[in-house]
Amino acid sequence: MKHKTTRRDFLRTTLYTGMAAGVVSPTLVSAQSQGANDKITCAVVGARGRGGSHIQGFLTNPHTVITYIVDPDEAVGKNRCEQIEKKQGSRPKFVRDMREAYADKDLDAVGSATPNHWHALSAIWAMQAGKDVYVEKPASQNIFEGAVMVAAAKKYGRLCQVGTQCRSNPAIRQGIAYVQSGAIGEVTFARGVCHRRRKAIGALGDYPVPENVDFNLWSGPAIFTQPRVTRPQFHYDWHWQRLYGNGDSGNQGPHQFDIARWGLGLMRHPNKVITYGGRLGYEVEKNDPQYLDAGDTPNTEVSIFDYGDKTIVFETRGLETKATDGANVGVVFYGTEGRLVQVHYGLCVAYDKDGKVVKEFKGGDDQNHYDNFVDAVLKRDAAILTAPILDGHLSAALAHLGNTSYYLGEKNKVSQEEIGKVLETIPSRDDNLKTLARTVEHLQKNGVDLSKTPLALGPQLEFDGAAEKFVNNAEADKWLTRQWREGFECPTAESV
């Protein structure tokens, strides 16, 4: 799409100013909706994994065209360009550095599917350059970044959608409406579960970066470890290293955290959090008590979030396991008259007090979410977004808060009995001891000897949601942000 100094540019500039002030003119929205015939030009940043979903989402929508593919891996990026050209009839430009794409005034929107450590900065830079953004979950790698993303969307009047696609799926939307209608009675407790088998990622070591990858750009804001990494598989396994990822509570978890908050009507941070867990079971797989894999995020993790009037519990299990109350990867809402289980992205099942199925809600896929984003961009209406950045920030923050408690207590290896004594003092709408017992039983069934590799217990942390800081805990506050590399610093909410 050639750049034109036309009504479209005028409308965009005017709308951005209005949105930054919190006002969108209905007249301008209507004028653009009726008069803009050009397709929305999109860049996909990060072409592997979820990047493929972004590509499919934009290719499927009739109002979008992909004009850029950005990836530090040249082989992957150029291969994607070839695939896209065959489907949309035009070839996107490949660049390694997202800033080159963002500098193009004709680029309208960005889909960011980078590793977690790049999510925030890729979105912030895009919004500063006047682009709308669909950014993958978790919205941020830490709470500081999330707050800056919220501020950037407000300041620049940009639409920022987070990839928690359940927000756009009919089955989940109907299920949440059912919960909020009072159909299962009063609901003050939700349990999120991520029971996903994750095997060890290989021995901690010194491994070369694939030669097609620009490791400087791949590392971005993270500490630069020179042209070597400590995990055997370069791609994807970064999820299990805290320098880049957030473990499964920050990978899969944001979906379930988001649904739990949504159903409970929580648009705020929790008051307190406590976590216990560990990276356990892989020494059994290798049949070597001394074996340590390259991951340093927990594969077993239970976090209790206290909101005062409500409770969320989240359970991560990376070893073989069975469902908890009907969910393997989902959310269970417990009401006084029954429960609702989010079984997967396209299914919710409601039960009465006796455990009898009374209603099922089905339908939906990823495309709903991309279409929702595109619709909002076309109409310049942030209210249309089903997963705006504030929701994404609050949901990702739960993963960060839970992980912070774990990391602070990582060396505090204690027995089940000792953990139980602490949990007895923790207010919760869950049966804390029963959940602990289930977790221990799960580990034992997987051959974990907790006398040799015990669970770690983190401290209960008090959080000031308004200030987005921990209460009187400087050590915990260190986990609110990260060390930024020169040239890739994240601005503050005030300076963004």
Is the pTM above the cut of 0.85?
yes
Residue 20's pLDDT is 37
Confidence of residue 287 (pLDDT cuts 50, 70, 90): low
pLDDT tens digits, residue range 483-496? 999 999 999 999 99
pLDDT tens digits, residue range 162-196? 999 999 999 999 999 999 999 999 999 999 999 99
Distance of CA 410 to the CA centre of its chain: 23
How many of the other CB atoms lie within 10 Å of CB of 211?
A: 10
Q: Taking residues 376-395, what's their average pLDDT?
A: 98
Burial class (CB in 10 A: 0-12, 13-18, 19+), 420: middle
Residue 414's pLDDT is 98
pLDDT tens digits, residue range 25-67? 332 233 233 333 489 999 999 999 999 999 999 999 999 999 9
Q: What is the longest distance spanned by two Cα atoms in the chain?
A: 71
Q: Does the pLDDT at position 382 exceed 70?
A: yes
Q: Which residues contact 112 (CB under 8 A, 6 or more apart)?
A: 45, 46, 118, 119, 122, 123, 126, 133, 134, 135, 136
Q: Taking residues 455-470, what's their average pLDDT?
A: 98
Residue 4's pLDDT is 35
Radius of gyration of the chain (CA): 23
Q: Could you give the percent of the chain with pLDDT greater than 90?
A: 89
Q: What are phi and psi of 266, to 5 degrees?
A: -100, 105
Q: Taking residues 472-482, what's their average pLDDT?
A: 98
Ranking 5-9, 242-246, 304-308 by mean pLDDT, the lowest is 5-9
Q: Does the pLDDT at position 5 exceed 70?
A: no
Query: Which sign does the torsion angle of CA 148, 150, 151, 156 carry?
Result: positive
CB of 156 within 8 A of CB of 16?
A: yes
Confidence of residue 297 (pLDDT cuts 50, 70, 90): very high
Burial class (CB in 10 A: 0-12, 13-18, 19+), 394: buried
Q: Taking residues 327-346, what's their average pLDDT?
A: 96
Round to whole Å and give the CA distance between 5 and 26: 22
Q: Does the pLDDT at position 452 exceed 60?
A: yes
Round to whole Å and give the CA distance between 266 and 328: 23
